[in-house]
Structure 1
Amino acid sequence: MGDEAAARWSPERVLELAPDAASAKAGRGQAAPAKWSGAGASGRAVWGACQGSGKRPYQTAVETAGPAFRCTCPSRKFPCKHALGLLLLWSEGQLPREEEPGWVRAWLDERAARTERAEKKTDAPKDLEAAAKRAQERLARVTAGAAELRGWLADRVSAGFATFERGGADELYTVASRMVDAQAPGLANGLRRAAASVGRGRDWPDRLLAELSLVYVLADAANRLESLAAALADTVRTRLGFSVSNAQVLESGERVPDQWLVTGAIDEEQDSLRSRRTWLRGKRSGRDALVLSFAPPGRPLDSSLPPGFVVAGELVFYPGAVPLRAVFDHREEPVAPESGPVGSTFASALADHAAALAADPWLDRWPVLLSGLRPARHGDGWALSDVDGAALPLAPAVDPWPLLALAAERPVTVAAEWTTAGLRPLSCWHRDGMVRL
């Protein structure tokens, strides 16, 4: 019974699957045993029938390893409220251990067969010569586009920024489109960020120059890839937009086994694609790691790494001058830690960031774990201050009030992203445990 309880998810982890707040609320409403019949759980799934507005109950099943969801209700949301309610019942230990009914077993077997077919397709022999030719053709287009951009930037900046305010943003967007045609999305994104700063705030020329400088350095590096150190060349390729598959990473990436504390996660949506950045820190190695997951709107993001939990496993890092992004090769189920983490000081965190920035000047965020903090006023905004009075500003969009409440009695430990805009807190550890911000 103890092992079974340990394998169940927490209610918080279940609700992280909800595609929106309304679904989470509706899911809680379905977490009542009286609403379900034939409900049960096995080592790989939970299932049940929930009476809805139709004549026949909705058949709902969840494969917990995926997770994957099946429900006969007409909802277009994944997971639907019935799947969330069923998982909440399971998390509370209210589903009996049962043999899988036929319809659940058939669904699970069909999923397993599809996965096996997909793996066989992935393992099929590839035309390596054709792939190498396509890669060379793309590299030629990227370097040509980068050379053109470098010349344009030199001419444009030497002419001064006065004309940028009178339509320069449109010109930047046009050049960004040309970089997309050159298959250099990293350069295009940098130009779009630069365009977004034009005319916004009194210091927009400074921010524009900073963005264009990074774009110029990246364009210059694109034309000198062969002369760069291997790790820096990997970073430049990544920043330009060349992808590295998980299979390549697992084959040749740096492996770090550890007990990984999930320090925080943050969700964003851009261009109809939802993403989740999950930050981890190794308890023995002290390494920081970033695990990314993506999902289209309405689909759940990966919730298998709940903040505040510890995951034992081996992370494999993507190549680069500052390896942060990683993927698990194998891992165990998340477990609650015995105590909260011990963070570093401002000075130590900033020194680490400076060293990372020297190796990868395009870093736009850096994970920090800081202890002994309280929110404090900082000019027109807010900051996190330590016991010595040192402070780092919070990003303008951050709401300081949750931190003010949590740190009312004593200083707290905070996991955050350090960005050019300031600190973006993700999680907070206080006397009563961890709170996701």
Structure 2
Amino acid sequence: MTTWTTAQVAALSPDAASLKAGEKLSQPHQWQTLGQADGVLWGEIKGSGKNPYQTAIALAEPAFKCSCPSRKFPCKHGLGLALVFAAHPDKLTGNEPPVWLQEWLEKRGQRAQKQADKAAAKDEPVDEATLQKRAAAQQKRNAAREDKVNAGITELQRWLSDLIRQGLANSDDNQWQRMAARMVDAQAPGLARSLQNAASLRYQGGAWQEKLLAELARLHLLLEAWQRRDKLPADVQADVLAHIGFNLSKDDVLALDGITDHWQVVGQRQEDDGQMRTQRTWLYGVESQRYALLLDFAVQNQPMALYPGLGGNLEGKAIYYPAAIPLRALPPSPSPSPTRDEGSKAAAFMPLAANFAAYGTALGKCPWLGYFPFAIANAIPVRHDQQWLLVDAEQHAVPLRISDEQGWILLAESGGHPLHVFGEWDGNALQVCGTFQTNEAA
């Protein structure tokens, strides 16, 4: 039976205001009807109009439906119904879907069938001449894009040389913005993001010059690698292309081999830049002892992908994107799994020194590493000189990228006892993504 947690419902909310409004509708007695059957929830609740609002959730996708006029998706009624399901699943006692729900399900079925027919049409055999024509057109598009990228990189290298010669402090925001826009025009969006990240380091803290220079050095190395990419190993070529901004299609990734395992959710966090929400979910393979990062994106009011909460499990085959240090993967698809070894779950957590050793090895293979998984065993949060640190049993420490309020919450969660902490290390600080109680803390 499918179950949800309140944390999973919160991840589906389009914004904090919608979640707060949904929490006010999370008590079963507020709903006139509640029911569930065959993976679908429904309920009716009084609104501002004459008729009650009709709300439904298809758990598999998940997909939401509500008759209220809200443009948010899911709306507060959908979130309220989901919270009822998370906290009081036994209250959804109705098992006979109402007419309005059946109509919605039928329309969804019709749309799904149309999409399946369209996909089947794409898979129909095509004559050799058409295939050759498509391949030639694709090759022409690829060549045209490479020409644009080459021209943009030549210009960027010249700009970086001038920047270093004139001094980092002599550049202004307009220069950085113009060059980032130039990389977008050159069809190299990855380089545009790198420039934006580098520009954000300017004048931040007393050591901003060193951090900015290191970031520009990595960018310079990437540009040199692009020009020598044909001589690089295939996995390093994949890293270079990805950081330049060449995206691999999902179909191309699906054609690769994967790893079948029992995957434990060890970390989750979301980012919101005002235009797009990004969800980062980290998995740990119990048998393979490998990490997998699931990246999901949602714009405006689109719902986010739903996975089990921290400590939950996914079964099946995860397929990694090509890279020198493969981390990003497609969500595990169901497949026969090996026998689970319950004792191997704790193998992910280790002292800080071992985490840094793993990071050093990975950095040697891919100098453009962004976030790297750290699983730190038996650590305690400590506040020192207005900076939060995580200190392990060997008295090694790592700085945390955390607000003061979040630091106190983390300390309260530990209760003064060690925690197993999972986070993302970016070379400067650790972003906490999940915590687990140890036997000592329990």
TM-score by length of 2: 0.88
Read off the aligned partner of 1:406 and give its amino acid letter: E
Residues 1:105 and 2:111 aligned together? no
Higher strand share: 1
Structure 2: distance between partners of 1:39 and 1:192:
49
Match of 1:36 in 2: 31
1:198 to 188, 197, 202: 202
Match of 2:283 in 1: 280
Structure 2: distance between partners of 1:234 and 1:414:
31
Structure 1: distance between partners of 2:111 and 2:234:
38
Alignment of 1:16-95 (within 5 A): 16-91=11-86, 92=88, 93-95=90-92
Read off the aligned partner of 1:273 and give its amino acid letter: M
Structure 2: distance between partners of 1:329 and 1:422:
29
Match of 2:424 in 1: 417
Residues 1:13 and 2:20 aligned together? no
Cα deviation, 1:223-282, whole Å, max 9, x if unaligned, reads 222111100001111111111111111112x30111111111111123611111111111
2:253 to 237, 249, 253: 249
1:403 to 393, 405, 410: 410
Residues 1:290 and 2:293 aligned together? yes
Which stretch shows the higher mean deviation, 31-40 or 280-289?
Answer: 31-40
Task: For structure 1, list consecutive stretches of 5 or more residues without a partner in the other structure.
Answer: none
Match of 1:231 in 2: 235
Alignment of 1:108-123 (within 5 A): 108-122=105-119
Match of 2:397 in 1: 391
Cα deviation, 1:198-239, whole Å, max 9, x if unaligned, reads 333332221221121111111111222211110000111111
Match of 2:433 in 1: 426
Structure 1: distance between partners of 2:142 and 2:159:
26
Read off the aligned partner of 2:219 and give its amino acid letter: V
Read off the aligned partner of 1:11 and give its amino acid letter: T
Give secondary structure in 1 for the equivalent of 2:24: helix
Asked if structure 2 preserves the Cα contact closer than 8 Å seen for 1:321 and 1:359, the reply is yes
TM-aligned CA distance change 1:31 to 1:397, over 3 Å: closer
Structure 1: distance between partners of 2:33 and 2:60:
21
Asked if structure 1 preserves the Cα contact closer than 8 Å seen for 2:280 and 2:296, the reply is yes
1:131 to 134, 138, 153: 138
Give secondary structure in 1 for the equivalent of 2:38: coil
Give the CA deviation at 1:341: 3.8
Match of 1:210 in 2: 214
Read off the aligned partner of 1:319 and give its amino acid letter: P
1:367 to 353, 365, 373: 373
Cα deviation, 1:48-79, whole Å, max 9, x if unaligned, reads 21111110011111111111111011122211
Task: For structure 2, list consecutive stretches of 5 or more residues without a partner in the other structure.
Answer: 124-130, 336-340
Residues 1:344 and 2:350 aligned together? yes
Give secondary structure in 1 for the equivalent of 2:319: strand
Residues 1:156 and 2:166 aligned together? no
Give secondary structure in 2 for the equivalent of 1:362: coil
Residues 1:354 and 2:360 aligned together? yes
Residues 1:141 and 2:148 aligned together? yes
Cα deviation, 1:155-191, whole Å, max 9, x if unaligned, reads 432x241xx4234443222222211111111111112
TM-aligned CA distance change 1:76 to 1:432, over 3 Å: farther
Structure 2: distance between partners of 1:132 and 1:329:
32
Asked if structure 1 preserves the Cα contact closer than 8 Å seen for 2:351 and 2:394, the reply is no
Give the CA deviation at 1:357: 1.2
TM-aligned CA distance change 1:104 to 1:352, over 3 Å: same
Give the CA deviation at 1:12: 3.1
Structure 1: distance between partners of 2:417 and 2:357:
26
Give the CA deviation at 1:303: 2.1
Give secondary structure in 2 for the equivalent of 1:77: coil
Give the CA deviation at 1:120: 3.9
TM-aligned CA distance change 1:318 to 1:116, over 3 Å: farther
Structure 2: distance between partners of 1:116 and 1:128:
29
Q: How much is the aligned-residue C-alpha RMSD, in angstroms?
A: 2.5
Match of 2:193 in 1: 189
Structure 1: distance between partners of 2:45 and 2:195:
51
Asked if structure 2 preserves the Cα contact closer than 8 Å seen for 1:276 and 1:293, the reply is yes
Asked if structure 2 preserves the Cα contact closer than 8 Å seen for 1:62 and 1:70, the reply is yes
Give the CA deviation at 1:431: 5.7
Structure 1: distance between partners of 2:166 and 2:85:
63
Give the CA deviation at 1:101: 2.8
Cα deviation, 1:275-330, whole Å, max 9, x if unaligned, reads 11111111111111110111112332112242221111211111111111111251
TM-score by length of 1: 0.89
Structure 2: distance between partners of 1:31 and 1:379:
42
Cα deviation, 1:118-139, whole Å, max 9, x if unaligned, reads 3443451683432232122112
Structure 2: distance between partners of 1:116 and 1:137:
37
Read off the aligned partner of 1:183 and give its amino acid letter: Q
| Aligned residue-pair number | 421
Which stretch shows the higher mean deviation, 274-283 or 173-182?
Answer: 173-182
Aligned-residue identity in percent: 36
Structure 2: distance between partners of 1:139 and 1:371:
46
Match of 2:326 in 1: 323
